[in-house]
Amino acid sequence: MTAIELREELFREMNPLLDSEVAMKKIISYVKELVVAQNKKSTVAPRKGWAAAAKKAHADGEDKLMIADVFEDERLEDWQW
């Protein structure tokens, strides 16, 4: 989890039109909501369902290579391991 410290002075430097306390509180609450939403989003498994989708793609014949596995001018003997 990433912690973010937001100061009113920073917002005021970014936009001098934010002189009112009401506008400042609205912006800070909006940013806090964004951070909370991002934290909720990051707890979801990013690859959930990929295994089933890959099996279905294979069964449907949709898992073909988009580019050649070995290029015509590729010389594997030049590689050092």
53-68 tens-digit pLDDT: 999 999 999 888 877 7
pLDDT of residue 22: 77
Structural domain contains residue 35: yes
What residue type is 73 in one-letter code? D
Structural domain contains residue 51: yes
What residue type is 41 in one-letter code? K
Q: pLDDT for 6-44, tens place per residue?
A: 676 776 676 666 667 777 778 778 888 888 887 776 666
Structural domain contains residue 45: yes
pTM listed for this prediction: 0.34
Question: What band does 2 get if pLDDT is binned at 50, 70 and 90?
Answer: low
Domain count, the chain: 1
Strands annotated E in the chain: none
Distance between CA atoms of residues 20 and 7, nearest Å: 15
Question: What Rg, from alpha-carbon coordinates, does the chain have?
Answer: 25
| CA distance to 18, 21, 24, 52, per residue, from 6 (Å) | 15, 15, 11, 42
Structural domain span for residue 17? 8-59
